[in-house]
Every structure is written in structure tokens, then in C-alpha cells.
Amino acid sequence: MTTSITIAGWARGLLEGGTLADKLASPPPGAVDVVGPAEDFAEPARAPPLAMVDGADKLPKLGDLTSPAARLATLSRFAHHELMATELFAWALLKFPDAPLALRRGFVAALVEEQAHLRLYVDRLAAHGAVLGDVPLSGYFWKLVPAIRTAPDPLRAFLCAQGLTLEQANLDFTILYRDAFRLAGDFDSAAVLQRIHDDEVAHVRLARAWLVRDDDAADADRDRYEQHVPFPLSAARAKGRRFEAGARRRAGLSDAFIAYVRDARPYAAAPWSPSSPTGSAAAPESP
């Protein structure tokens, strides 16, 4: 007798396994998606080279990417974002077993693409003589999970945090850094950033499509985002300093939502503690 391997079992393996190979495991052929109990993970297992730390150094300046050390620090940061995105989609597959099957399929497809992005960056790190973990890895994305889990509608909060804030911002950062790597003469890394940008358009589209309801007005994405985005995230965090309106339109965002994000200003820092996690909510880590 054979036991079917489930999508939940695969997702669990991605969170319980601590090595890079564990994180890059493909969905088993024939894996079935069955509705099981909701499972929650506070944090993923990480073998020592991939252990997460609090805080992070600033990203190198764009103009410094001619330096191999600056490229390495930048590629490490981006690689770790892809690893955390991989894990967060696995977390969502376990946390939301009752989500519509089509959305769960979308999560699986996005997760597999995040793994591909991670591989691409790991290859670029190897080209620089480094491995993921040589530069300390900030666990910032995982620090958002408590706010998602305790939100009134955790599934919509996840769509707003992952798809419509972090991934929406990445539509800008990928293009900003694509051009910076090109200027620095690292065309292979620039090509990776372009590939990731193209994939992320679909990830943003997925989140937007499931955030709104069938009977919503076309520009309801803005209102639903405002309603469900979990603090400390906000529209000010859903963009980079170069604003790619065209990519957002390709992702299906309404003109009203695009304008709302373009014009968004960060929360004011809490005067009593400019460096506190809630007082510096605007852009704790970029991208």
C-alpha cells in the first residue's frame, strides 16, 4: 500500500528542514492537496549557516556595486528574501487549508517560482565565491507573521503583506537593481533581476485577484488593501524609490490603487523611540 504525499506534507518539510536542499525540495510528483487541519509555525527550522539574526546592515549604495563585496552583500540580501518568500508560501499552505483550491494552486506555483529565484541568486553568490549565510541573514519577513496571524482576516492580511506589499515593492527594487548591476558590469545578475521582476508581476496579480470579491468595483483593491494590510506594513512599504507603474498595471492593480501607493507616506516615527520596531515602521528593510 502506498500513502499519497500531500501538498501539506511537502510544505511542512520545507519549514521543518533546515538546510538549503530542504528548502529547495520540489513538490513530489502526484502530490495531492487534501483539506487537513490548519497548522501554524512560529518560525522555520534553519541549519546554522542559514540562521536568522535581528536587524540587518544597510544595503550597499547602488553606485557601489562595482565592488564585489557590495554585490555579494546585495545578492545575499535578495537571496534571503527569496528563501523567506518560499517559507512564507509554505506557511500559508499550512495555515489556510480551507482557502479555495485555485488559490492554493496559485500559492504552490508561486512557491516553486520563489525556489527558482533562490537558486538563481545562490548561483550568483557562487559566482562571487560565496554561499548563502556568509553574510548574516535578517529574519524581517518572519517578524510580520504574528501580525498576519492575529489579523481579523488572516488570509487577506497575508495577501496584502506578501503579495501586495513585499512583492509589489519588489516590482520596483528589481528594476532599480537590474540597472545598477548593469552599470556595474554584472550582466548575469542583472538578467536574474529581470527574470524575477517578470515572475513577480504574476505573484502580485494572484494576491490582487483573491483580495477583491467578484462583486467589488474595479478599484476596490485600494480599499481592501487599506482595510487588511497588517501593521507595521502599509502602502509606503509597497514601493521602492523608482516607481514602476506599468508593472503594476500588468499585475492588474487599479489606477486608484497605483496612485494610492505612489502617494503614500511612511508612518511618522514614534518620538519616544525612533529605532523601536513600531516607531520605525516605514521601511525597516529594503527591499
Please select the residue that binds Fe ion; options are 72, 79, 167, 190, rule is CB under 5 A: 167
Contact assessment for residue 36 and residue 8, using Cβ atoms and an 8 Å cutoff: yes
CB of 167 to Fe ion, least distance (A): 5
**Cell 550568483 sits at which residue?**
124
* Closer residue to Fe ion in complex, CB, 167/186: 167
CB of 170 to Fe ion, least distance (A): 7
Contact range with Fe ion by CB under 5 A, out of 72-80, 164-172, 184-192, 226-234: 164-172
Q: Which DSSP string corresponds to 37-74?
A: -----SS----GGG-EESS-PPPPPGGGTTSHHHHHHH
If residue 2 lies in a helix (H) or strand (E), which one and from where to where? none
For residues 171, 132, 12 and 168, what is the CA-based torsion angle, rounded to 10 degrees?
-10
Query: In this chain, which of 11, 15, 27, 114 binds Fe ion, going by CB under 5 A?
Result: 114
Q: Is the peptide bond before 49 cis (omega within 30 degrees of 0)?
A: no
- Binding piece for Fe ion, criterion CB under 5 A, among 115-123, 206-214, 236-244, 273-281: 115-123
Asked if 87 is part of the footprint of Fe ion (rule: CB under 5 A), the reply reads no
Q: Is residue 23 within the footprint of Fe ion (CB under 5 A)?
A: no
Give the CB-nearest residue to Fe ion: 203
Q: Is 202 exposed, middle or buried (0-12, 13-18, 19+ CB in 10 A)?
A: middle
- Written as nine digits, the cell of 131 is 554561499
148 within 8 A of 64, measured Cβ to Cβ: no
Residue closer to Fe ion, measured from CB, 6 or 155: 155
CA atoms in the 13 A half-sphere facing the CB of 188: 11
Shortest Å distance, C-beta 113 to Fe ion: 6
Pick 94 or 171: Cβ nearer Fe ion? 171
Q: Is 203 in the site for Fe ion (CB under 5 A)?
A: yes
By CB under 5 A, which span of 42-50, 78-86, 233-241, 271-279 interacts with Fe ion? 78-86
Residue 78 or 260 having the CB closest to Fe ion: 78
Least distance (Å) between residue 190 CB and Fe ion: 16
117 binds Fe ion (CB under 5 A): yes
- Round to whole Å and give the CA distance between 176 and 170: 9
Min dist CB 197 to Fe ion, Å, is: 9
Distance of CA 95 to the CA centre of its chain: 17
Nearer to Fe ion, 82 or 87 (CB): 82
Task: Give me the residues that bind Fe ion (CB under 5 A), please.
Answer: 82, 114, 117, 167, 200, 203
